[in-house]
Structure 1
């Protein structure tokens, strides 16, 4: 190679830094990190619905919890909600008294419903809880708690009533809005266990017609951020005495259990209505209560579906008198 060619190559190499700054390759990773951070920051401050969609994928409590106050406000602005009777299925697994499976839609967002269910002072809501004898937190992980609870519970069936001690370990997890319970030790009751679950429901999805939202992001968008979120509440519980009594005693006990569970659901629905801002008109002192009299008649009916049908008919007549 000639001396002239070597001089040209050296001169060209010396000019490379002028064309491409070598520090660019060193700074490239840092620039990428800065760009990504900037993009994530813009996404965080951007569309609220998108943020909520990402939160829903992590867990419902994160998304709905952040907007619980706003959701409750939507419900108070539009409290229209038609209560439907719960679906109650009673089965009799071998060796047990009964297994109850209940589903009902509630006009409140999941976090609000869950707050009612796990409230340590929920005896003010659930009338079948006479008193909380003891309550001890065994584990606290923020969203999840394990609690030991002993309660004195009331039961009522037709003209019979009484109390029973309920001592259970409760595993409550706000991440998926579940609450599992199982008895502490066997005795009269060999097995007593169950689980509450609360899932979100898009109440105003009809306003999106003909589009049917499948995610919170889509629902938020098509309702303009005003869409209400309700809850689908399910309760399953298994009751197995140490000795299962023969019929007809087992029939009566099964009826007591079904009635007590129905009372729980009624109390939950009543509290949800109160939170939405719905209350019955005040009556003057000494005025006879037609509602109370009718409720007494309803309680005399043994069939659950028939009781709910009577309540709905009575509710329509009651609201006609007091619009």
Structure 2
């Protein structure tokens, strides 16, 4: 559990809570589509940035949401590590809202109708709510699969720890719902990208939004850089070729499409 900081403490805390107590605190939540995300909880700076992004998009459309770069490696104990880096032309808090909306929309599906939906969301439930900074949510999803002439939908439950303060989302498949996986967990981290710092901040590189706003005179746009780290290990005999090759190909392809879908959601929100 030491692969990602905070995972061990999060899982231990969840395992210490009795199921009945959890269910009393839980509540069903209905998420909004990415284009209707409520920004009332965002900071004034984020609201100002979002307004600037929309004005800029009308003049010069953002073209720097490059396709995610993918790196894959395998450890000596059979764990596959998947890393992806990409960017979205929106401020970090807004991107965090998109990630944690858990809505039913899949924008790449609607834009490119020949592609199957990557995931469908059935429901979401808040297990623990520590206010604005942190939530633990269980999301029930289904993933379509196809092998030769057979196809269907596989139920999938994911637990998310949403940390707004650090702009990090941890996720994992619960042990009791592994679905042929001994291990499946990861984290998605968002960091600010001061894209106009070279233009406005010639004296020094800004370290935070406050410094950036001062040196740019409030004109500098803040984008987001995202880093996804995913670790998984299939159960035997699926951890051996040729099964492991097929699982690896499906996970890489599906994960990349999910990240590209985040970029499409960002473009939709930026242009409204």
Name the TM-score, length of structure 2 as normaliser. Answer: 0.71
Higher relative contact order (CA 8 A, sep 6+): 2
d(CA) in 2 for partners of 1:133 and 1:202? Answer: 37
| Residue 65 of structure 1: how far off its partner (Å) | 2.5
- Residue 173 (1) aligns with residue 167 (2): no
Paired residue secondary structure (1:148): strand
2:125 to 117, 136, 155: 136
d(CA) in 2 for partners of 1:77 and 1:135? Answer: 34
1:90 alignment partner in structure 2: 72
2:247 to 246, 253, 276: 253
- Residue 152 (1) aligns with residue 152 (2): no
| Residue 246 of structure 1: how far off its partner (Å) | 2.5
Q: Which has the higher strand share?
A: 2
d(CA) in 1 for partners of 2:66 and 2:150? Answer: 27
1:74 to 45, 52, 62: 52
**Do the aligned residues in 2 keep the contact of 1:91 with 1:98 (CA within 8 Å)?**
yes
| Residue 132 of structure 1: how far off its partner (Å) | 2.3
1:4-25, CA deviations, whole angstroms, 9 ceiling, x for partnerless residues? xxxxxxxxxxxxxxxxxxxxxx
Q: 1:160 to 1:126 in 2, by over 3 A?
A: farther
1:91-140, CA deviations, whole angstroms, 9 ceiling, x for partnerless residues? 11234462211111111101111111110315444754543233221111
Equivalent residues in 2 for 1:213-232, closer than 5 Å: 213-215=205-207, 216-232=209-225
RMSD between aligned residues:
2.8
Q: Which runs of 5+ in 2 are unaligned?
A: 1-40, 110-116
1:144-203, CA deviations, whole angstroms, 9 ceiling, x for partnerless residues? 111122210235799996533221221111111111112112341111111111111101
Q: 1:116 to 1:157 in 2, by over 3 A?
A: farther
Larger displacement relative to structure 2 (113-122 or 237-246)? 237-246
Q: 1:130 to 1:218 in 2, by over 3 A?
A: closer
Q: 1:157 to 1:100 in 2, by over 3 A?
A: farther
Equivalent residues in 2 for 1:1-323, closer than 5 Å: 65-79=43-57, 80-81=61-62, 82-96=64-78, 98-125=80-107, 128-142=117-131, 143-154=133-144, 162-184=152-174, 185=176, 186-208=178-200, 210-215=202-207, 216-243=209-236, 244-277=238-271
Larger displacement relative to structure 2 (167-176 or 239-248)? 239-248
**Do the aligned residues in 1 keep the contact of 2:159 with 2:171 (CA within 8 Å)?**
yes
1:47 alignment partner in structure 2: none
**Do the aligned residues in 1 keep the contact of 2:70 with 2:85 (CA within 8 Å)?**
yes
Q: Which runs of 5+ in 1 are unaligned?
A: 1-62, 279-323
Paired residue secondary structure (1:67): helix
Name the TM-score, length of structure 1 as normaliser. Answer: 0.60
How many equivalent residue pairs? 217
Paired residue secondary structure (1:226): coil
Paired residue secondary structure (1:255): helix
**Do the aligned residues in 2 keep the contact of 1:129 with 1:151 (CA within 8 Å)?**
no
**Do the aligned residues in 1 keep the contact of 2:92 with 2:223 (CA within 8 Å)?**
yes
| Residue 237 of structure 1: how far off its partner (Å) | 1.2
d(CA) in 1 for partners of 2:146 and 2:244? Answer: 15
**Do the aligned residues in 1 keep the contact of 2:104 with 2:120 (CA within 8 Å)?**
no
